[in-house]
Structure 1
Amino acid sequence: MSIAVTDLMALAQQLAATGNCECEWRSGASRAYYGAFHKSLQVADACLPPNPQAIGEHERLTDRLKQQGMKGRALAYVLIDLKKVRTHADYHLAASFSQNDATDLLAGCAAYLPKTDAFQAFVQAGQTAKP
């Protein structure tokens, strides 16, 4: 069985928006980020060259995006900012994480997804303006 980005986003919505505790909100935030990450990875794999030099999957992906002009860099930096919140949710357990933190990240990830589609269309149309 496999899952799609929409499955991750639906679970994120359920956990972040209707969860009853911080653990659910943190989990929802994490799933939302990974929905954005995997959507970006699908786009990168469809239309960008690989970058084997970067260490770590997240860095490898954002480096690939950054190499694609202003639009690619814009996507990369948004994804990096989204990851910072996910990192807070997943690794900083002693610091509070509110339902608003989760729903804000969810909204940011949901707004990010259509931008990846627009970027892919832009690149595939051969319009990428490198720096």
Structure 2
Amino acid sequence: MKWWDAVDVISSSGYYPVDSWDEHIQRIKKVVNQWEKPFFFMEAGCPSRFGSPMVPNDWNLNKGQVSEEAQDDYYKEMFSKLDDEEWFGGYMLWDWPARLYGRDQASSNDDYCIYGKKAEKTVHNYYSSK
């Protein structure tokens, strides 16, 4: 791992099951502390489907119906985990496609995009408070 000294920032994807964030944060924190570099998530997010918070990186999860609540709860937990860590620089959230569905279709959309969904307000509130 000699290459960490050649970067200005450490980054990773953050598609962790909802109940495993603390474990992953401790793992990341060890690397961040060792190399004294800031960190951010290059990608993070969760589809709006029942079951997705347990497997947020499963793009093909076909079981489970649309659930804005599942996605919103995931974002709320994710945002709450790193607020007090000075080394943490933020999230780049997946996904906001170039062609959005209509706002009237948001409640039936089960992908990662938060447009028109409950998680959109959660994300707005999180970043507005910073």
What TM-score does the superposition give when structure 1 sets the normalisation length? Answer: 0.28
Relative to its length, the structure with more helix (as a share) is 1
Relative to its length, the structure with more strand (as a share) is 2
What TM-score does the superposition give when structure 2 sets the normalisation length? Answer: 0.28
